[in-house]
Amino acid sequence: MDFKSLRAYEIGFELAMGIFEVSRGFPKEETYSLTDQIRRSSRSVCVNVAEAYRKRRYEKHFISKLTDSDAENAETQSWLEFAFACKYIDLDTKDKLIKKSHEVGKLLNFMINNPGRFGVGVN
């Protein structure tokens, strides 16, 4: 199994790409704040899942990277709320992206609570 086949990674990647697409329309003055931050945090969700999977030999490392991923996912949700409040995205877009983010969060929590199902500790 490869980290790219993990459901949390797949959906996280879809979320990051969806955010990339909608953030292309954000104003130029947001380039180094909202646009950069929301893209960074959403991409970091996937990156941390990939790192966790590579560190699965050690349960504490695996869980630590997944909790980092979960934190980045929560940050992404916060940035989506700002994007909506600033009227850069509509309610439907925000809800669709938040729903996908919640799905990622559930998958991450399942992985955190069930590390053995992902080959953790197997030499």
Confidence band of 64 (pLDDT split at 50, 70, 90): very high
Average pLDDT estimate for 36-64: 96
Compute the average pLDDT of residues 23-50.
Answer: 96
Could you give the percent of the chain with pLDDT greater than 90? 90
Q: How many CB atoms lie within 10 A of CB 113?
A: 10
Asked if the model's pLDDT at residue 120 lies above 90, the reply is no
Domain ranges of the chain: 3-113
Average pLDDT, the chain: 95
- Percentage above 70 pLDDT, the chain: 98
pLDDT of 78-89, one tens digit each? 999 999 999 999
Both tokens of 45, joined, read 């969700």
CB environment 54-75: b (16+ within 10 A), e (fewer)? ebbeeeeebbbbbebbbebbeb
User: How far apart, in whole angstroms, are the C-alpha atoms of residue 12 and residue 123?
Assistant: 28
Q: Which residues contact 29 (CB under 8 A, 6 or more apart)?
A: none
Cβ atoms 40, 20 nearer than 8 A: no
**Is 69 a residue whose pLDDT tops 80?**
yes
What's the confidence (pLDDT) of residue 123? 57
Confidence band for 32, pLDDT divided at 50, 70 and 90:
confident
CATH class assigned to 3-113: mainly alpha
Q: To the nearest 5 percent, what fractions of the chain are helix, strand and coil?
A: 80, 0, 20
